[in-house]
Amino acid sequence: MRLLSVSILKLARRPASGRTMLVMLGLAAVVYLSVGASARSVPTDERAPLAALLSFPDAYGGLAGILVTIAGLAGAALAGTVAGSEWSWGTFRVAVARGASRAGYVVATVAALALLALAGWLALYAAGVLFVGIGGALSGLPPGDPLDAGALASLPILLAAGWWAVVMQTSIGFAVGFATRSQVAGIAAVIGLLLAEQFAAVIVPADVLRFAPITASSALVSTAALSGLDGAILLPLAITTLYVVAAVAGAALFARRAEVA
């Protein structure tokens, strides 16, 4: 618990954490304001896809899908930066020299990143709802019903699914950055997975591709948006969790075997 509290304090004080949040907010604002502003030029009979993004309650699910992509990449970038700096700044070496468990230090750092991701995700989603409203007003589309009882009842499940999807990408970014001792390898790995799975979708059957990390985490969010907490969510949840565990275990194993000069 001491390692976790120290890790949270260390991450909260890093300028990169605040800057990452600002970047995510800026990207989300650009996406929704640009879509809303350009929607007026779209013919009325072709606005159905835009309505799903800018009219409630469907906008709740669309917002989660867009923000998971933004937050996942941002989380991987931050995690990779943190992981690489453990070596370049020597903080991991100092912690080990003071008697901290190597594996425990890694687990505590990833857990702190996950808690930071939770706070950032909730703040980003709340801001995203505001951006949806502004974008909808710019588009001239009907706002729909943001207080729809069914959508609000399933919103906690959707938020939890989105956060866990972000944690998966953050964990992969940390594991790759820690193992390579690089501050850029983590985000590069997640971007590579994202692009590779998009290209693979052309030739790889969907029943196979659903076990890939980015596809599984996207399915987790989309299933939560459509069905809430039912049996369909179990498989993408299990696959996403497996990747989180594998990433953390891999980083912890590397930490135990790495030479610390």
Supply the pLDDT for residue 261.
59
Digit-coded pLDDT (tens) for 83-109: 988 888 888 888 888 888 888 999 999
Supply the pLDDT for residue 46.
65
Q: Look at residues 258, 8, 231 and name the one whose alpha carbon lies nearest to residue 108.
A: 8
Taking the C-alpha atoms of residue 227 and residue 234, their distance in angstroms, rounded to an integer, is 11
Q: For residue 36, give the amino acid letter.
A: G
Supply the pLDDT for residue 172.
96
Tell me the backbone φ, ψ of residue 258, rounded to 5 degrees: -75, 145
Q: Look at residues 26, 27, 108, 98 and name the one whose alpha carbon lies nearest to residue 66.
A: 27
| pTM, two decimal places | 0.92
Taking the C-alpha atoms of residue 67 and residue 70, their distance in angstroms, rounded to an integer, is 5
Residues of the chain with pLDDT under 50: none
Q: For residue 199, give the amino acid letter.
A: F
Taking the C-alpha atoms of residue 58 and residue 226, their distance in angstroms, rounded to an integer, is 9
